[in-house]
Every structure is written in C-alpha cells, then in structure tokens.
A and B are shown apart, each in its own frame.
Chain A
C-alpha cells in the first residue's frame, strides 16, 4: 500500500508533465536550480568541516536547518497552497489502514524537487563534520530526523489546519494577511544584516538556543557529539524524538478526522445590502463594467493581493535607500505594479467572462470600464503612497514631479494592460483559490510575454521618469512642470490608445479569449 501511494504520486507527476512541453522545461530548470544550490551547499559544508571551527559549524547548520524546517511547516499554508494531489480527503472512500496511509504519504512527500533536495540536504548536513567519524554518524542520524520533521510536520500542519484553511473567508483573508510579514522578512533581514554587526555577534548564542527547540534540535545533534557533550546530545535526541512523536500524533488525529469529514460544509454566508457601486455609477454598459470591476477590487482577494505588495515596496525602498531620495520613487513603483496588475483582468474573470461575450459588450466599453476602475483604485493607492513618502522624507518641494511621474506611469500601465489583456489570457488562481497559489499550466511562454510586455511598458514610461528624476535632483521649476505635463500627457495618450487598440482586438477575439479560458479549466 505504501508503495502504491508513492507510485501514485510519481504517476501524477509524470502525467502532469505529459500535458505540456513547457512543464518539462520548467521541471528541468527547477532541477538544475536545485542541483546548483545543492552543489553550493555541499561545497560550503565540506569547507565548514575543513575549517575546524565547531562553533561556526554549529551556528550555520542549526540556523539553516531550523529555517528549512520552518519553511516546510509554514510555507504550504500561505504561499504555495497545500499540495492537493494527495489530499487525505481524496482517500475517504478507500479502505486503507491509517498506519499505511501515514507512511505512504510521508514517503510520497519526498517525491518531487523540494522533497528530494531536502533529503539530499539532510544527508549532506553531516559533511560539516566529515573529519570526525562519531560526529559524522550523529550528523546522518540528525539529518534523517530533520528531514522527517520537515515532511511529517508539513503534513501534520496542513492536515490539521485544512478545515480552517478550507473555509472561503479564512483562506482569502489569511493568505493576504500572512503573506505581508513573510515578504517583509527579506527587507527586515537586509536591514538587520546591513546595520547591525551586533546581530552577527549574537548569532552563535541564537544558534545554541534554537538548537534546543523542535526546529533546530535534529541539526544540533552532531555539534554536541563533536564537543563531547553527550548529555546535551542525548537531550537533542529526546527533543527531536518527542517532536516527531507529537507531530505523528497530531497528524494521525487530524487524518482520522479528515477521513470522516463531510466535504464542503456550510460556512459563513456573505451578504451585502443594496446595489453598491451599481447604484453610484452611470447606468450605462461602461458604468456597469466599472462598477463590477470596483466591486471585485474590494471583494476578491486576488485583487487585494496586488494592493498588499504596496507597503512592502515602500519599506523595501526605505531600507535600500536608507531613508534618502530613493524613497520618493515608491509611488512610481507602486503605480507600475498596480497599472500592470490590470493585465490579468480577463484572466481573473475566468469563465464568467462569457457574460461579456454574450451581451455582447463592445470592446471599447469593456476596456474603458475596466480601465476606469483600475485608475480609480490605482489613483487612490498611488496618491496615498506619494503623500506618505513626501511627508516622511519632508521633500514637499518634489511634489509636482513625483505626482507627474507616478500618475503618468499608472495611466501608461493601465493603457498597456488594456491592450495586453485583450490579446492574451493566461492561467491565474481561480476565483476562491488561494491568491498566491501557483495555477496549473502556467508556463514559461506566459512569463516571456509578461516580461516582454513589462519591458515595453518601461520604455514608454522612460521619458516621464527620466524628466522626473532630473527635476527632483536639480529642483529646476521648468523641469518640474515639464515632468507633470509629459507624465499626464503620455498617460492620457496611453489610455486613449489602449482603450481603442485593446477594444479593437477585443471585438475581433472575444470568443477566442473565452475558448482559451475554458481550456484552462
């Protein structure tokens, strides 16, 4: 039975690859990338062993190992969505012993690039002690325990939280809320490492403490053996064993609950009084499209995810620029992201797009309505960002060029997206899915066209941004006014061209767009 489950996972992987050549390419690339990282890790670990500095080895291995375990435990909940190919609820109707299911799902978790890489990494961690046979052996045992903690913990957490995560409201809100601190982790670490030598000095002590936690205990085993601290090593072994026992217990209980749970389940029913934006916009097709888009900007977490990156951008620029003039560019970056986010608009409609095809909505009406909603939301967010960074940096003298640049870039982005999204649709998370999950069938081809589109967009934005930078640096009034004029002018032109050209494309290809979207389902 255990072998069956592993084989099932392999078959699913193989069949997934059969569906598209691009998936094979993507897999090969991720394998190469993983091999590259593994190579680096192995070289680093061997060097660490040769260096003969036990404290350094302990710090590096324990902290990196603890991060690895934490990643396995937490990331599936928010970032990638849960690996649903072997969702326990799919085995509800089969007569499989729970013990077999536990073992099989654990081993199946190692199939795939991340699992295999973790397995190799766990074994390789022992190389940090290659000069000491006893510690090397302990490292292998610790590595095995660490990998087990990764995989079993990941299953335990996802299975336990599945009913929570499965609720529509929770999934939508939590995913957006949880991702923000995760994205901030990078800049925070950056700030910490760049500014504070003290943190680096404290790392060894942190390593010792983390070594006693469930996250770090397996990885600290070998270091204790190396030090001859047998009692401490025994302690680490106990912590690791207890962690695994608790995880298996938790998973076992969650699994037995999952196997008898009825699918779906009634949750909170969302209501909204009255017609909302539909009552406030003009009663025309364009007004209706704009009202619908705005409602979605507020109600659909996939759109909220685009807004969620805004604070991240601001903080990132603040860290990188150390509070200097670079921060003033935050509004422009936000405008770029918000403008381009509209390029997925028809893709986000999913098959509900048929409503527009059947009505039929005129191409220009569709484009203009969506652009209007995008400009309203984007304009509000960009203005708020501009005011924030101008206030924080106290550079009110740069108000005119900053507004000219950011609003211009937003309008150019919306215009370019109006053309792009009438030409191409691509797989995005379905309505109601985790907004950060990677959809089936997204491919290199999509990434290429997206990159190309953004590149073109950058080129169109260049004049206004170049002028704006010059105006902010020199403070010359003529340049400031010129930035405002060029920014707003190019933005307005891009909007008109985007709605016209996009509308024409849309009129010719709307049924084909719908057919492509249906083929993703």
Chain B
C-alpha cells in the first residue's frame, strides 16, 4: 500500500475575475519530505499554497492534510498546519515576543508552554535582543523570521512556507535550513516555495515545477532534474529564455 501523503492537493482551480490563477493543480507531498515548489512570478504558487492552508477557498478541488479534508472541517485540520504566507502583514504593532505569544495562545496552548516556546524560538532565530521591539520596526529578514517562529510555535506536523528565505541574511538562512531539515528528518513535512533553484536543489528532496497555473513536473529532485541542474531543467520546462539579439544596442552604449 502507498504511504499516506502528508499533503494531497487534488484538482484545485481558482479564478480571480477573468484571470484563472490556478487551473487544475494536483500535488502529492509524501510524509516526512522536504518539498520545494518552484515557478516564475505569477505562476500561481502563492494562490495554491493559500488554498492548501485554508486561507483562500478554492473554486474546485480538494485538499487532504494527512488524509483529512481541509475544506470539509477547517478547524480540525488547520490545527496540524503551520503557515507562513507571503505578501501579507503581521500584527506588527505587537512586539516580537507578544506576536509569538499571540500565535501560541490563539492555537490554544497554555501560558507556561507558550512562554517556554516563545523564549526558545526567539533564541533560535537570533531575535532575543529584539524581543521587546515592535515588529513594525523590524527589517524584512527579521519579519520573515518572526513569522516563521509564529508558524512553528504550536509544533505542527506539516509546515507550509511561502518564500521563507526572501530577504533573510545568509547566516540566518543557513540556520533556518538546518532547523527545517532536522524537522523533516524527525518526521515532519515541509513545503516551501522559492525562486532560488540552487537552494531548492540543495535543500529539498522533492520538487514541483508550476507555471501558468499548471504543474509541469513533480517528483523527487533527481527525477525532475535528470542529468541537468534544476535551474536548466526549470528554464527548459517553463521556457521564455531569450538570448539572440536582445538589446543589441546596449553593448555599444558606453563610451
């Protein structure tokens, strides 16, 4: 028997006005995998992940989280999900410590657990010195890290992170990568979206390429990339590379 997928996305569709953002996306994320979702700008990554985490209602399709239908019973299923969306605000008038505490209390954790985990998370993400600073005054990278801390505070079994490495400095990114790898090794499942192919190739064991609202390829990283690098394979799948005669005048414009 096939092992149960941690996250199974079946035939998702979403239309905004006249634009079809996601057109029949199917994804199988095996339990314990570190799953990369890559695609060009406007491919439908964020829309897909929003629907997979219960933030956006799909027009058609099903989302199963560890076998349970998310949209049939959101409260029960969302409890096992940790989410970091991209391009949204946080309650940034709270301090970093308050924000993580808030996320923990909303998830129903008791006071002592929240206090201990908040302190742990702030230390891990190197934010202890800024625990009492309002999040609105954080840098972009610090904001990503505090958002990640909020997604982890209730110890979810499945993590869905939209662009978690954007604007994060290299040292912090390496730390986050270690945390996520250890988490996946311990049986947790991580789904990340990213633009950075190198990162996905090194970090993830599974990958899906998505463009124009469709899944172009999915499987283990080695299956998808074959002999080429993931970046070359991605460009080949998505297309759109221009090399001939582009901006020829630019080369003669200096001096």
Q: Which residues of A contact B (CB under 8 A)?
A: 168, 269-276, 278, 283-285, 287-289, 291-292, 295-296, 299-300, 349-352, 354-362, 431-432, 511-512, 514-515, 518
Question: Which chain A positions have C-beta within 8 A of B105?
Answer: 278, 283-285, 287-288
B88 at the interface (CB under 8 A from A): yes
Pairs A–B under 8 Å by Cβ, sample size 5 = A274-B132, A288-B102, A289-B106, A295-B94, A518-B88
B128 at the interface (CB under 8 A from A): no
Question: Which chain B positions have C-beta within 8 A of A291?
Answer: 102
Question: Which chain A positions have C-beta within 8 A of B102?
Answer: 278, 288, 291-292, 355
Question: Which chain B positions have C-beta within 8 A of A284?
Answer: 105, 108
User: Size of chain B's interface in residues, with CB distance under 8 A?
Assistant: 38
Given contacts A168-B136, A511-B57, A514-B56, contact A355 B91 (CB under 8 A): yes
B83 at the interface (CB under 8 A from A): yes
Number of interchain pairs (Cβ within 8 Å): 110
Taken together as a complex, chains A and B put the C-alpha atoms of A287 and B107 apart, in Å, by 12
Taken together as a complex, chains A and B put the C-alpha atoms of A283 and B56 apart, in Å, by 29
Q: Are A359 and B55 in contact, CB atoms less than 8 angstroms apart?
A: no
B89 at the interface (CB under 8 A from A): yes
Q: Are B54 and A511 in contact, CB atoms less than 8 angstroms apart?
A: yes
Taken together as a complex, chains A and B put the C-alpha atoms of A109 and B198 apart, in Å, by 50
The 9 closest A-B pairs by CB, nearest first: A288-B105, A283-B111, A351-B88, A352-B89, A359-B106, A270-B134, A358-B83, A269-B137, A299-B93
Question: Which chain B positions have C-beta within 8 A of A359?
Answer: 78, 103, 106-107
Instruction: For the A-B complex with A272-B132, A351-B89, A357-B54 known, give 8 more contacts whose Cβ atoms are closer than 8 Å.
Output: A269-B134, A270-B136, A287-B105, A295-B93, A300-B93, A352-B88, A355-B150, A361-B106
Shortest beta-carbon distance, B223 to chain A, in Å? 32
Shortest beta-carbon distance, A274 to chain B, in Å? 7
B98 at the interface (CB under 8 A from A): yes
The residue of chain B having its C-beta at the shortest distance from the C-beta of A359 within the complex is: B106
Shortest beta-carbon distance, A472 to chain B, in Å? 40
Question: Which chain B positions have C-beta within 8 A of A271?
Answer: 95, 132-134
Q: Kindly identify which residue among B55, B74, B95 contacts A354, using a CB–CB cutoff of 8 Å.
A: B55
Question: Which chain A positions have C-beta within 8 A of B106?
Answer: 285, 288-289, 355-356, 359, 361
Q: Are A511 and B55 in contact, CB atoms less than 8 angstroms apart?
A: yes
Q: Are B55 and A514 in contact, CB atoms less than 8 angstroms apart?
A: yes
B199 at the interface (CB under 8 A from A): no
Question: Which chain B positions have C-beta within 8 A of A512?
Answer: 57
The residue of chain A having its C-beta at the shortest distance from the C-beta of B108 within the complex is: A285
Identify the interface centre among B91, B111, B134: most chain A CB within 10 Å of its CB: B91
Shortest beta-carbon distance, A521 to chain B, in Å? 8
Question: Which chain A positions have C-beta within 8 A of B114?
Answer: 283
Question: Which chain A positions have C-beta within 8 A of B94?
Answer: 292, 295
Give 1 or 0 for each of B124-138: 1 = CB within 8 Å of chain A CB. Answer: 000000001110110
Taken together as a complex, chains A and B put the C-alpha atoms of A284 and B114 apart, in Å, by 11
Taken together as a complex, chains A and B put the C-alpha atoms of A310 and B201 apart, in Å, by 59
B75 at the interface (CB under 8 A from A): yes
Shortest beta-carbon distance, A170 to chain B, in Å? 15
B193 at the interface (CB under 8 A from A): no
Identify the interface centre among A283, A289, A518: most chain B CB within 10 Å of its CB: A283
Q: Are A358 and B56 in contact, CB atoms less than 8 angstroms apart?
A: no
B101 at the interface (CB under 8 A from A): yes
Given contacts A275-B101, A289-B106, contact A354 B85 (CB under 8 A): yes
Q: Are A272 and B95 in contact, CB atoms less than 8 angstroms apart?
A: yes
Q: Are B92 and A269 in contact, CB atoms less than 8 angstroms apart?
A: no
B97 at the interface (CB under 8 A from A): yes
The residue of chain B having its C-beta at the shortest distance from the C-beta of A289 within the complex is: B106
Q: Are B85 and A270 in contact, CB atoms less than 8 angstroms apart?
A: no
Shortest beta-carbon distance, B110 to chain A, in Å? 6
Give 1 or 0 for each of B42-60: 1 = CB within 8 Å of chain A CB. Answer: 0000000000011111000
The residue of chain A having its C-beta at the shortest distance from the C-beta of B109 within the complex is: A283
B81 at the interface (CB under 8 A from A): yes
Question: Which chain B positions have C-beta within 8 A of A349?
Answer: 91
B235 at the interface (CB under 8 A from A): no
Question: Which chain A positions have C-beta within 8 A of B174?
Answer: none
Q: Are B93 and A358 in contact, CB atoms less than 8 angstroms apart?
A: no
The residue of chain B having its C-beta at the shortest distance from the C-beta of A515 within the complex is: B56
The residue of chain B having its C-beta at the shortest distance from the C-beta of A509 within the complex is: B57
B90 at the interface (CB under 8 A from A): yes
The residue of chain B having its C-beta at the shortest distance from the C-beta of A269 within the complex is: B137
The residue of chain A having its C-beta at the shortest distance from the C-beta of B95 within the complex is: A272
Identify the interface centre among A275, A351, A431, A515: most chain B CB within 10 Å of its CB: A275
Q: Are B93 and A431 in contact, CB atoms less than 8 angstroms apart?
A: yes
Q: Are A350 and B133 in contact, CB atoms less than 8 angstroms apart?
A: no
Taken together as a complex, chains A and B put the C-alpha atoms of A351 and B50 apart, in Å, by 13
Question: Which chain A positions have C-beta within 8 A of B136?
Answer: 168, 270, 431-432
Q: Are A352 and B92 in contact, CB atoms less than 8 angstroms apart?
A: yes
The residue of chain B having its C-beta at the shortest distance from the C-beta of A270 within the complex is: B134
Question: Which chain A positions have C-beta within 8 A of B83?
Answer: 354, 358
Shortest beta-carbon distance, A33 to chain B, in Å? 32
Shortest beta-carbon distance, A263 to chain B, in Å? 14
Shortest beta-carbon distance, B6 to chain A, in Å? 17
Taken together as a complex, chains A and B put the C-alpha atoms of A78 and B98 apart, in Å, by 31
